[in-house]
Amino acid sequence: MSSDPIATPDRRGLCLILSSPSGAGKTTLARLLLASDASLGHSVSVTTRPSRAQEADGVDYYFVTRDRFEAMRDAGELLEWAEVFGNFYGTPAEPVKAALAEGRDMLFDVDWQGASSIAALLPEDAVRVFILPPSGEELSRRIYSRGTDPEHVIEARLEGAEAEISHWGDYDYVLVNRNVEDSLAVLKGIVTAERHRRHRQVGLRTLIAHLAPPSRTR
Ligand code: 5GP
């Protein structure tokens, strides 16, 4: 193996980064995309936020105390981290390194800060998609109808939405989530196209070497 493990697999994995304001439908889309594509792994973040009713530890997030989070952060175990709505969120580094070394793709559900850090750390691998709600009314409706967060968090999410949206220009793709089915199809299309980018098809060199006409290989 070469000293750069990321350069060795037949296919170079991609980091599909999804960001959006709360209430744009990102988590639902991420779940559906992951369920539809066995080659796409999920980067499970660490967070100090309390778990919501439907969330499972180790599946949606690793729910940890602030002390534990700070210990992981200080030990360099996080690829990136950020404070969002008063809680800490971070991406464990090890699973990402392992996935890229093996040519596997990973999905990241992170805010604009996480997206920007991952893109700076892994510029060749990051594919950033920003998901927008179809209207301001729909955004507020979705944030309120979630009903699982305390009022002050809902208020913060409404305010935070504007700040998050202001970063849309840093993304490679922007998707207006009018309905889940169409948006899922678009996301699948992006993943398919990005997997075909020349620089990710590391194994092509071997194929191309074998495609030379027999007369020229003699
Ligand atoms: P929620 O509390 O709604 O699950 O997430 C709040 C925000 O934190 C969302 O925008 C989500 O994408 C973001 N987030 C989740 N995990 C991470 C992470 O590991 N790093 C960063 N930077 N943001 C994250």
Residue 26 annotated as binding?
yes
Q: Is residue 98 part of a domain?
A: no
Whether 200 maps to a domain, the answer reads yes
Sheet holding 40-42, edge to edge: 40-42, 105-109, 15-19, 126-132, 173-176
The answer, yes or no, to whether residue 3 has pLDDT greater than 60, is no
Q: How many domains does the chain have?
A: 1
CA 128 / ligand 1 centre spacing (Å): 15
User: Does 27 carry a binding-site annotation?
Assistant: yes
- Establish if 123 belongs to a structural domain: yes
Backbone Cα Rg of the chain: 19
152 lies in a domain? yes
pLDDT at residue number 147: 65
The pocket around ligand 1, CB under 6 angstroms, is made up of 22, 45, 49, 80, 82, 84, 89-91, 109-111, 113-114
Task: Return the pLDDT at 110.
Answer: 97
For atom 11 of ligand 1, the residue with the nearest CA is 110
CATH number of the domain enclosing 183: 3.40.50.300
Q: Write the pLDDT tens digit of every residue in 161-207.
A: 999 999 999 999 999 999 999 999 999 999 999 999 999 998 888 88
Residue 78 CA: nearest ligand 1 atom is 19
- Within a domain: 218: no
pLDDT at 8: 54
Mean pLDDT of the chain: 91
Q: β-strands 105-109, 61-63: how paired? A: unpaired
User: pLDDT of 82-126, one tens digit each?
Assistant: 999 899 999 999 999 999 989 999 999 999 999 999 999 999 999
Position 156 pLDDT exceeds 90: no
pLDDT of residue 120: 98
Domain-located, residue 130: yes
- Full residue range of the structural domain in which residue 152 is found: 15-43+104-211
Residue 142 has pLDDT above 90, yes or no: no
CA–centroid distance, 167 to ligand 1, in Å, is 15
Q: Is residue 192 part of a domain?
A: yes
Residue 127, pLDDT above cutoff 90: yes
Residue at 87 is within a domain = no
Q: How far is the CA of 181 from the centre of ligand 1 (A)?
A: 23
Residue 5 confidence (pLDDT): 42
What atom in ligand 1 is closest to the CA of residue 18? Answer: 12
* Predicted confidence (pLDDT) at residue 145 exceeds the cutoff of 90: no
User: Would you state the pLDDT for residue 58?
Assistant: 97
| Rounded distance from Cα 81 to ligand 1 centre (Å) | 9
The answer to whether the annotation marks 24 as part of a ligand binding site is yes
Q: Which residue would you say has higher pLDDT here, 45 or 9?
A: 45
3-class SS letters over the chain = CCCCHHHCCCCCCCEEEEECCCCCCHHHHHHHHHHHCCCEEECCEEECCCCCCCCCECCCEEECCHHHHHHHHHCCCEEEEEEECCEEEEEEHHHHHHHHHCCCEEEEECCHHHHHHHHHHCCCCEEEEEEECCCHHHHHHHHHHHCCCCHHHHHHHHHHHHHHHCCHHHCCEEEECCCHHHHHHHHHHHHHHHHCCHHHCCCHHHHHHHCCCHHHHC
Q: Which residues pair with 78 in a beta bridge?
A: 92
Binned at pLDDT 50, 70 and 90, residue 212 comes out as confident
Residue nearest to atom 17 of ligand 1 (CA): 110
116 C-alpha to center of ligand 1: Å? Answer: 13
